[in-house]
Structure 1
Amino acid sequence: MKIFLINGPNLNYLGKRQTNIYGYNTLQDIERFMIKKAKRFNVNLECYQSNHEGYIIDIVHRAYYINCNSIIINAGAYSHTSIPILDALTLFNGLIIEVHISNIYNREVFRHTSFISKRANAIISGLGVYGYISALNYLIKS
C-alpha cells in the first residue's frame, strides 16, 4: 500500500508559527512519526510539503499516475481557495482524507469553507497532530 501525505503552505513552520493554535510539534516530527507507524504496517508513506499551489497539483497528479492507494492532505489555506487543487483531486481514484490541525469551523468565517472537502472521503478537523494519526489508522484498516 502506498499513501501520500501532502501538506500545504506554511505547514513547514509548524512548531514555530501560532503555537497557540497549531502546537509545538514540527512537520518533521509529524512526518517522522507517521513514516515509522506506516512501516510497522508495511505501508509506504511518502511525505510532501509545498508553499506553491502548482507543485501540490503536480504531487496529486503523480499519485494518480503511479496508482497510489490514498492521499492524506492538509492543504492549509489552499483548502479555502484552491479550485485547481480540487480539480486535481477529482482525477485521483483512491481514498482522500482531509486533515486540519485546528477546528476550521471554530475560526474565521473564511476558513469555514473547504474546496478539498468536496472530494475528500473523510475530514478530520481540530484533533491537532492526532488528526494525521487518525487518518493513517483509518487508511491502514480500510
Structure 2
Amino acid sequence: MKKVLMLHGINHNMFGKRDPVQYGTVTLAEIDGALQALGRELNVEVDSYQTNHEGDMCERIHQAFTDGADAVLINAGAWTHYSYGIRDALAILTVPVVEIHMSNIHAREAFRHQSVFAEIVKGQICGFGVDSYLLGLRAAVAAIA
C-alpha cells in the first residue's frame, strides 16, 4: 500500500477555534478523519503529523525521506511564506509534494501571496477549505501513479 504523509504546520492544532472566517469551524481531527476516509477509498495509507516547532517539521520531513513515503502533502501555515529551512528539507524529497491551503492565500494579505515552496512542489491547491486537503490527496495519488 502506498504511503502519503500529511504535514500540518504552525497553529493548525487550533483549527475550529481560530479565525473561522478564513478556516471555518472544522477541527484538525476532522480534517485528518476526512483524509483517512478518502485514503481508504484510494487504497493509500495517510499518516498525519502536526507541529508548532519548525525544527520538528524538518525532522519529520527527513524521516519521510528515510522511511520512503510515496508522496507528501503539506499545509505549513505561516511557514509557507518564509521558512527556507522547511523548503530545504522538502527539496531533499524525491517524491511528489503537494502544497495545500484552506484559504486562498492569493486573495489575502500581501505577505501571504508568496510561497517559498512553490518552486519545488508538484503543485498548490488553495481556497477550498477542507476540500483543499481532499483535492491534494487525490493529486498526490495521481502523481504517484
State the TM-score bracket (shorter-chain normalisation): over 0.9
User: Partner residue of 2:101?
Assistant: 100
TM-score, length of structure 1 as denominator length:
0.96
SS in 1 for 2:79: helix
1:75 and 1:26 mapped to 2: Cα distance?
16
User: Partner residue of 2:49?
Assistant: 48
Q: Percent identity?
A: 35
1:140 and 1:68 mapped to 2: Cα distance?
12
User: Partner residue of 1:35?
Assistant: 36
2:54 and 2:62 mapped to 1: Cα distance?
12
- Shift >6 Å, 4+ stretches: none
| Structure 1 residue 112 displacement after superposition | 0.9
Structure 2: stretches of 5+ with no match in the other structure: none
SS in 2 for 1:117: coil
2:107 and 2:43 mapped to 1: Cα distance?
36
2:80 and 2:43 mapped to 1: Cα distance?
30
Structure 1: stretches of 5+ with no match in the other structure: none
2:109 and 2:89 mapped to 1: Cα distance?
26
Cα RMSD (Å): 0.9
How many residue pairs are counted as aligned between the two chains? Answer: 142
**Aligned-partner residue type, residue 128 of structure 1:** G
2:129 and 2:41 mapped to 1: Cα distance?
23
